[in-house]
Amino acid sequence: MQKNIKLLLGLCMLCITAQAQLRLPHVLSDHMVLQRESDVQVWGWGAAGAHVSVYASWLSDTVHAVIDGGGNWQVPIRTSSAGGPYTLKVISGAQELQLEDLLLGDVWLCSGQSNMEWGGAQNLPEILEELPQANDNQIRLLQVSRYAAAYPQEDIPDTWKMLDAQSLKPFSAIGYFIAKNLRREIDVPIGIINASWGGTGAEVWTPSSVFDNDGVLQKVAENQTAAAYRPHRAASLWNSMIFPLRRFPISGIFWYQGESNVGAWSSYDRLMQQMVGAWRAAWGSQLPFYFVQIAPFTYNNKAPLAALLREQQEKTARTLPNSGMVVISDLVDNVKDIHPIQKRAVADRLAALALQEHYKLPAKRNYKSPIYKSHTVKGNQIEISFDHLDGKLQVKGDVVEDLYIAGADHIFHPAKGVVRGDKLIVSATEVKDPQAVRFNFTEAGIANLFNDQGLPVAPFRTDNWSF
């Protein structure tokens, strides 16, 4: 009996010692990039009531905190302009932690499903070609492990890595190419966090509070089906892969997802508005949110559900403050493969949004795809006008592909499209009194109508008729 009591006391002492151990979350690690010129948080765990001192080598002052009764502590520190390498030291009593090789720069979060996630591990040629030259010490990578949780977590198991062939191969190709773009144009250290999981619906990346307060979205979330290769329960990846990062300052978010929400297209904008709002609230900032409109693919639905999902994405781009959408309907060489291999060009377009709208680089013409603005019926023709278009439209090929026009009978006929400067004139001999135009409003249509910078016109329809 006495032996058992001693053993129990010993185990209790081990637990107390473990609880009192000074710790940092894994996101605060060697080689990390901290957001420049910001008030960043340094936080962790330790012995309740103990004092913590934080020394940052770019600061002359030491920052102090007292660990609360739950063993938690947090201190704000001010970062300076871009630079490094620096060190960060945390001391509590006799315990000391030191982080090395830290950079001050800009941090971006990439998230979504497989088209954001994929890289060299999936043998994408563009990344395999990069591996021998992946040696920019000013780019750092944080790959968040794929795991789901029923409740919000406070830590991830992953730490920052320096860029090299080994760290890049399993990393997001789009995230890496964005980092290369930003490094070239603004010349500061760049940290990229990749928190993506193939096949996931947007619901799993959205906090449970959204569904608690929205019966429509809750019903849609409950209809997500289980699968062996990905989680499906609402908030499960928000809890484990996003929530633990909320105290780590970032510049903004890049998002590539939507394929797994095609079947629930009608609520996608509503979901995105709520999801992004919740993410921004968690970071306490109106973070820029730049995303990709899903690519052409043969979903084989009876109605063009993918086109309707893209329409929802365009609605989000129009109405969500500080957001932007890139169109990639020209970057697909096989519409039977849901994973287009051209990731560099996607990243170039996303980076262009950030460079123009977040970094405010000298303005460039036509860095966004033209989107439908309005139409005017002129006799047996319909004239289409576009937003984000400064100059002339261009057709690659003999005719504008995937273009249709309908009259009052709602029957669409293949149409002829004529470019007149920045207008598209649409007609068909079968339609004498036209009412509506649809361009590339299919699931797998590949665009051949562009602005003068080679960006495709976004798919559109002028009607709101049922299918």
Any idea what the CATH number is for the domain that residue 174 is in?
3.40.50.1110
Q: Report the run of H or E that residue 416 belongs to, with start and end.
A: strand 416-420
236 and 299 part of one domain: yes
338 and 409 part of one domain: no
Torsional sign, CA 296, 300, 301, 302: positive
**Residue 18 confidence (pLDDT):** 44
Q: How many domains does the chain have?
A: 3
**Residue 40 confidence (pLDDT):** 97
d(CA 251, CA 106): 6
61 and 146 part of one domain: no
112 and 96 part of one domain: no
The tokens describing 90, both together, are 């945390």
Pick the last residue of a domain from 331, 358, 385: 358
State the residue for tokens 């123009």.
356
305 and 163 part of one domain: yes
Range of the domain at 199: 105-358
Any idea what the CATH number is for the domain that residue 49 is in?
2.60.40.10
**Residue 4 confidence (pLDDT):** 52
On whether residue 364 sits in a domain, the answer given is no
d(CA 84, CA 91): 22
Pick the last residue of a domain from 309, 331, 358: 358
Length of the chain: 467
Angle at 291 between CA 334 and CA 385, to 5 degrees: 85
Contacting residues for 340 by C-beta, under 8 A, at least 6 apart: 115, 295, 328, 331, 332, 333, 334, 346
437 and 289 part of one domain: no
170 and 231 part of one domain: yes
d(CA 414, CA 437): 10
Give the other-Cβ count within 10 Å of 304's Cβ: 22
Pick the last residue of a domain from 309, 329, 358: 358
d(CA 233, CA 183): 37
**Residue 20 confidence (pLDDT):** 72
176 and 320 part of one domain: yes
**Residue 467 confidence (pLDDT):** 87
On whether residue 5 sits in a domain, the answer given is no
338 and 413 part of one domain: no
**Residue 10 confidence (pLDDT):** 45
Q: What is the mean pLDDT of each run of 10 residues along the chain (467 residues)?
A: 47 47 98 98 98 97 97 97 98 97 98 98 97 97 98 98 98 98 98 98 98 97 95 98 98 98 98 98 98 98 97 98 98 97 98 98 95 98 98 96 97 98 98 98 96 98 95
State the residue for tokens 């934080």.
54
**Residue 363 confidence (pLDDT):** 87
On whether residue 127 sits in a domain, the answer given is yes
217 and 312 part of one domain: yes
